[in-house]
Amino acid sequence: MLSDAAYARIDRELAKYPADQRQSAVMAALAIAQREQGWVSPEVVRDLAAYIGMPPIAVHEVATFYNMYDTRPVGKHKLSVCTNLPCALRDGVKAGEYLKEKLGIDYNETTPDGLFTLKESECLGACADAPVMLVNNHRMCSFMSNEQLDALIAELKAQG
């Protein structure tokens, strides 16, 4: 289901734990699979469960508990805006509303062209930099004014 390179990365994660604690690598395995596939499908859950040696429901529980895993297809660029209290007090909610209007979608929706999915995020641990957001679970963006949001959207559109 995944590439040989993805399984090799999962093997490196599995090697960090004793043989009887392979399930400890499930979060890393899910991240590797999601990065390659774009989301964590039910087939990926079953494949990882078999590969790691744990029940599929246990993998599913992890994938659905943490908001960094997408169990439905998302756009090429997933924008996660922190709206927890510290960010909300420093315009995190306004940044989210601005993106909704600019992209023409609501939270948990994807633009018709498949480029953007907008999500509300739990705390990203950068409250002093509010409003903050995460792009594709890997790129933290701080102090996101409307002008910075416009620049980010333009940059991501240029990437396709």
The DSSP line for the chain is ---HHHHHHHHHHHTTS-GGGGGGGHHHHHHHHHHHHSS--HHHHHHHHHHHTS-HHHHHHHHHHSTTS-SS---SEEEEEE-SHHHHHTTHHHHHHHHHHHHT--TTEE-TTSSEEEEEE---S-GGG-S-EEETTTEEE-S--HHHHHHHHHHHHHH-
141 among annotated binding-site residues: no
Q: Is the dihedral of CA 10, 116, 67, 91 positive or negative?
A: positive
Q: Which residues are annotated as a binding site for [2Fe-2S] cluster?
A: 82, 87, 123, 127
Q: Which residues are annotated as a binding site?
A: 82, 87, 123, 127
